[in-house]
Chains A and B, each alone.
Chain A
Amino acid sequence: MDKKIKIVVCCGTTCHLMGSSEILINKEEIESQFKDQVVISGSPCLGKCKEFAAAQAPYLLINDELICQANLDKVIDKIHQILAKTEE
């Protein structure tokens, strides 16, 4: 596969409080688990907490798709889904 999966984690106030750093702390594990098919980066603020409710935070983008109430399980499931699709 030549195209890497891009994950952008929101580092804004709301998302940080709601636990977005969980994904950033595990950045290296996630990236190595998927043998560098995944790139995780941060964004100062995705601005989603103004569009939706703060309770839906933390937000992140996986290949430009918005994930609400993101946590480690959700992210890993989503990566598996995308990988399964590309393999088909």
Chain B
Amino acid sequence: MKLDKDFFIEVAHVQKFKHGQKVCGDTFMSMKVKHDKRIIAVLSDGLGSGVRANVISTMTATMAITYSANKYDNIKAAETIMNTLPIDSVRKISYATFTIVDIDYEGKCDIIDYDNPPFILIRDGKRFATPNKQYLGNITSLSRKYTLNMASFKLQLGDKLIIFSDGVNQSGMGSNALPFGWGVDKVQEFCEYLATKYPNMAARSFAQEIVEYANANSDYEPQDDITCCVINIRKPRMLAVLTGPPVDKAKDSLMGDIVRNYEGRTAICGGTTAKILSRELQRDVEVDISTLDPIVPCSSTMEGVDLVTEGMLTMGEALKHLESKEFIGDIKTENGATKLVRLFLDSDIIEFYVGTKINDAHQDPNMPVELGIRRNTIRSIAKVLEERYLKDTKIKFL
């Protein structure tokens, strides 16, 4: 999400299921509202755990995110959600917590919180107290009282906003070391420590650290679903991906210029592209045979370039990883595709420079595998990066 060249909102979340559960009772959703220039993130924790909690929290998060995106009145939205949720047969209540974060491209941030642990805003390595308002509501039809916590403030460059479910601050509860759980204050201390020690840590890694700590508190058998979302405000990390030879040979030198002058990281996807750039930049490409993999061809190294991989197979595999439900941090294999995916996720603005020349050999019917058209694969990758990972992408065809 780009505000201008120096201001970027990075959103990432990490979850750990309750021990023995196959689905998560917490739901995190985020959305870019492009026409309004806003970003919305919602965290909801359903009553109990397992499938029931998952259904309740998914419903809550979906409603909350849709209402927010359409600028529906917050209080009305909260009441509608509470009225709609199915009533638990044991506890006779309908219940899911939620936190809605609404940030516009200028950094103005509104947070509405119902029963989740308080959010933590870290500024200059310390917790920053924000002016909070409380709203006391009453739903007469359900004869229920509720409290909404609302905060409205302006985010600055370098801020980190941490939102988590009670699985984090209550982790380890009942154990000898932490009889009352980790506690919000300790979570805050840990966040301050992380932010001071690693000021440039990616949101995903930050959230991962917190979730791992909470997981360790409960002896790696969490008693509740653990979810942590981190929103980072910082300078964008740029990535240029060059793939495919240009149709017009005269544009080869243009690709060379891009790599030479790019302010950020660069990746080259494609054997022929690597050869062209090796010639243009007069730098050697060396294939790293240690990255041998049955599906993805070996990646290579080139001076001044962060990653050099083969083209279509690697990008196809990277797309599969990006689209799969599996959390990318859990993928242990090391090959060109996973390296490319990690590079994507550690960047904010990704610019694709796509050569559109078609390699006839790839379209040869004798080939054992059908290969896609580069343009289409890149479009799919850009789409999933925009929609699911909230990255900013640009595609330029050469």
Contacts and interface: CB of A to CB of B under 8 A. Distances in A.
Contact of B359 (A11, A18, A40, A50): A50
Contacts of B362: 13-14, 54
A40 B267 CA distance: 25
A27 B292 CA distance: 11
B311 interface: yes
A49 B367 CA distance: 11
Contact of B367 (A40, A43, A47, A54): A54
A72 to B, nearest CB: 15
B292 A16 contact: no
B289 interface: yes
B361 A11 contact: no
B285 interface: yes
Contacts of A83: none
A41 B310 contact: no
Interface of B: 270-272, 274-275, 278, 285-287, 289, 292, 294, 297-298, 300, 308, 310-313, 359-362, 364, 366-369, 371
25 contacts: A11-B287, A11-B300, A12-B297, A13-B310, A13-B362, A13-B371, A14-B364, A16-B310, A17-B368, A17-B369, A42-B287, A42-B289, A42-B300, A44-B271, A44-B274, A44-B308, A44-B310, A45-B270, A45-B310, A54-B360, A54-B361, A54-B362, A54-B367, A55-B364, A57-B361
Given A13-B311, A21-B292, 18 more contacts: A11-B297, A11-B298, A11-B310, A12-B271, A12-B272, A12-B297, A12-B310, A13-B297, A13-B359, A14-B364, A24-B298, A42-B300, A43-B271, A50-B361, A53-B361, A54-B362, A54-B366, A54-B367
Interface of A: 10-14, 16-18, 21, 24-25, 27, 40-45, 47, 49-50, 53-55, 57
